[in-house]
């Protein structure tokens, strides 16, 4: 009996870890790397052209200068991208030598232009920051109560919402961990009752 109860507890813990792990993955922030060379961002085909990179809000862009021999900058520029943004650039690496790097985290959605302040006629880039993904709406868990069953007032059908009285706030659905815990707990309770009855009859 103790083995059965421990197994139920283990299943509940694993289910909770899986739910929290999947939720964390959905909102994980990422780092996007952009190569910097002579005289381009991203790759050599973007010399004299604009390299566009699309990310999500909260992501970090990492400019890697390993491909360059000369020094360059990563500087936010004005709409014409012929000089730094005014009154001051949102991000500016300053002069970075070969093999160096620079990172910036974009927390706000929008489009951000940048160029190399040392080579303003050759090196251009654009960062498009998308709004953060909204969490998926919660789905209602089907009730396990069959038609015709009598539900006492104020009770909560397994997998459903209270029939009367106070329910979850803001219309939130019953959490998955609660449903799993209720199922496992109910099974363990039934097993304990059965074991006790078996001992009495012996």
CB atoms within 10 A of CB 40: 24
pLDDT tens digits along 82-110: 999 999 999 999 999 999 999 999 999 99
Domain with CATH 2.60.40.420 in the chain: 30-130
pLDDT tier at 163, thresholds 50, 70, 90? very low
Contact 102, 117 (CB under 8 A): no
pLDDT of residue 199: 59
**CB burial readout 77-108, b (16+ within 10 A) else e:** beeebeebbeeebebbbeebeeebebebebee
pLDDT tier at 127, thresholds 50, 70, 90? very high
pLDDT of residue 17: 44
Task: Look at the domain 30-130 and name its fold.
Answer: Immunoglobulin-like (2.60.40)
């Amino acid at each position: 009996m103790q083995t059965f109860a421990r197994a139920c507890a283990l299943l509940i813990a694993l289910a909770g870890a899986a739910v929290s792990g999947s939720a964390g993955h959905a909102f994980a922030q990422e780092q996007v790397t952009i190569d910097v060379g002579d005289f381009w961002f991203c790759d050599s085909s973007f010399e004299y052209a604009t390299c566009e990179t699309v990310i999500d809000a909260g992501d970090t862009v990492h400019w890697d200068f390993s491909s360059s021999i000369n020094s360059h900058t990563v500087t936010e520029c004005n709409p014409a991208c012929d000089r730094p943004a005014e009154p001051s650039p949102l991000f500016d690496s300053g002069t970075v030598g070969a093999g160096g790097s620079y990172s910036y985290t974009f927390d706000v959605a929008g489009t951000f232009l940048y160029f190399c302040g040392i080579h303003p006629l050759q090196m251009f880039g654009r960062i498009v920051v998308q709004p953060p993904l909204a969490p998926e709406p919660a789905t209602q868990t089907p009730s396990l109560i069959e038609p015709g069953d009598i539900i006492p007032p104020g009770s909560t059908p397994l997998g459903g919402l209270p029939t009367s009285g106070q329910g979850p706030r803001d219309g939130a659905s019953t959490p998955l961990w609660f449903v799993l815990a209720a199922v496992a707990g109910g099974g363990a309770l039934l097993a304990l009752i059965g074991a006790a009855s078996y001992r009495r009859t012996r």
